[in-house]
């Protein structure tokens, strides 16, 4: 290892393996940032058990019908963005254990995510989360230690200082913790999208949302939005949040999502797509990635909400957080199936998603992606 970077690491064009379809192709111009979306955060190794009929019972052994491993944490969002064709850069610490090696390889070589700003930390083991999916919900157990201080992990010039120029940055706000790099990124012209973690303190004080003033869009779930705004309806919460951010988006689970543009007064609401959920891990991250993609591509607000909901719905039908994120091949296959239906509920879907006709290329160009393998690793043949 040289300077904390893996010796075999070569700079990879962000999103190189992500997708044949570039949703921003018509908007790209000379002098644009090389990076579409920048993220920083903690990468976990996720071990996911699916097919459990109920929650594990103390003193008994439960067998799951499905199991997989994948990079988790901030890797969920990075993978979802890359699979939608956005040039994605991730600054993160990786353990120098086998888990860290697997996560690095899965994100770099498997997904085409630019890890130039990431580093391997000697003597630090990878955080791990075990997720059990049952009855449409999940239960998680995590273990890990704080990475060494950022100045020991990253070179100067990016996290936690000012990140490189990019079209957008995605952040997960932590109540009461200031993300200093957001102000610098916003000053450089990056569009900031943020969600928020659960407030373990129980305060739900809007003043604790450090950095929200730099955000173009804030995307909490309904429970979070209502608690922060002291409202009892997610739509009212979205209107209240739009007084603080240009665009408030609230996800409402099985009810779909709603949004309010505080600049124009426009509002939108899209119902959820009914699917049989295998594993909801990472669905919120996939939703945000879909919304970021539509926003950068300058789609109408309703289409952005619909697209985000579609990507999330497709993701919960596969196990895992990051590796369940759909690419354009899955989106095209779903749209072709909907268009072939001539009766029943799909009629509404055909109207809602008609914009995909202008987005998707010819079907033969939406080839399946070469993706990371959803396990810690098989022995490769000689």
3-state DSSP of 95-120: ECCHHHHHHHHHHHHHCCCECCCCEE
pTM of the model: 0.87
Mapped onto helix, strand or coil, the DSSP state of residue 255 is: helix
Q: Residue 275 — very low, low, confident or very high, per pLDDT cuts 50/70/90?
A: confident
Choose the weakest-confidence range: 8-17, 205-214, 278-287.
Answer: 8-17
Q: What tens digit of pLDDT does each residue of 256-269 get?
A: 999 999 999 999 99
CA 354 to CA 203: how far, in whole Å?
A: 43
Mapped onto helix, strand or coil, the DSSP state of residue 195 is: strand
Question: Facing residues of 196 across strands?
Answer: 173
Domains in the chain: boundaries: 25-53+64-139+164-360
CA 15 to CA 12: how far, in whole Å?
A: 8
Half-sphere exposure of 310 (CA within 13 A, CB side): 26
Alpha-helical segments (H) within the chain: 74-83, 98-105, 150-153, 181-187, 222-229, 234-241, 283-296, 301-315, 328-340, 346-352, 356-359
22 or 376, which is more confident: 22
CA 72 to CA 321: how far, in whole Å?
A: 6
- What is the CATH code of the structural domain delimited by 25-53+64-139+164-360? 3.40.1190.20
CA 193 to CA 320: how far, in whole Å?
A: 23
Residues 6+ apart with CB under 8 A from 82: 14, 15, 17, 18, 19, 88, 111, 112, 113
Has residue 338 got a pLDDT over 60?
Answer: yes
pLDDT at site 283: 87
């Amino acid at each position: 290892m040289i300077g904390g970077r893996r010796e075999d690491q070569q700079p990879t064009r962000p999103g190189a393996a992500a997708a044949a379809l570039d949703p921003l192709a018509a908007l790209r111009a000379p002098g644009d940032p090389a990076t579409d979306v920048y993220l920083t955060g903690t990468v976990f190794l996720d071990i996911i058990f699916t097919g459990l009929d109920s929650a594990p019972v103390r003193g008994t052994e439960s067998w799951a019908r499905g199991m997989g491993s994948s990079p988790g944490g901030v890797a969920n969002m990075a993978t979802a963005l890359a699979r939608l064709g956005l040039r994605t850069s991730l600054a993160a610490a990786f353990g120098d254990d086998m888990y860290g090696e697997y996560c690095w390889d899965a994100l770099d070589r498997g997904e085409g995510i630019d890890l130039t700003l990431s580093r391997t930390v000697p003597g630090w083991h990878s955080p791990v989360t075990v997720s059990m999916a049952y009855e449409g919900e999940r239960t998680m157990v995590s273990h890990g230690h704080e990475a060494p201080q950022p100045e020991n992990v990253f070179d100067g010039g990016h996290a936690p200082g000012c990140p490189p120029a990019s079209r957008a940055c995605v952040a997960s706000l932590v109540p009461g913790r200031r993300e200093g790099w957001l102000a610098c990124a916003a000053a450089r012209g990056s569009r900031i999208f943020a969600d928020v973690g659960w407030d373990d303190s129980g305060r739900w004080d809007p003043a604790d949302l450090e950095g929200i003033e730099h955000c173009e869009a804030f995307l909490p779930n309904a429970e979070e939005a209502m608690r922060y705004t002291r409202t009892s309806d997610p739509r009212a919460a979205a209107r209240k949040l739009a007084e603080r951010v240009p665009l408030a988006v609230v996800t409402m689970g099985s009810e779909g999502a709603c949004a309010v543009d505080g600049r124009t007064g426009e509002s939108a609401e899209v119902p959820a797509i009914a699917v049989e959920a295998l594993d909801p891990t990472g669905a919120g991250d996939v939703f945000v990635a879909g919304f970021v993609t539509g926003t950068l591509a300058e789609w109408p607000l309703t289409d952005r909400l619909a697209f985000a909901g579609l990507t999330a719905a497709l993701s919960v039908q596969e196990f895992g957080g990051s590796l369940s994120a759909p690419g354009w091949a899955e989106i095209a296959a779903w749209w072709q199936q909907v268009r072939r239906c001539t009766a029943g509920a799909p009629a509404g879907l055909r109207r809602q998603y008609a914009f995909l006709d202008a987005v998707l290329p010819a079907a033969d160009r939406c080839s399946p992606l070469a993706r990371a393998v959803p396990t810690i690793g098989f022995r490769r043949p000689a």
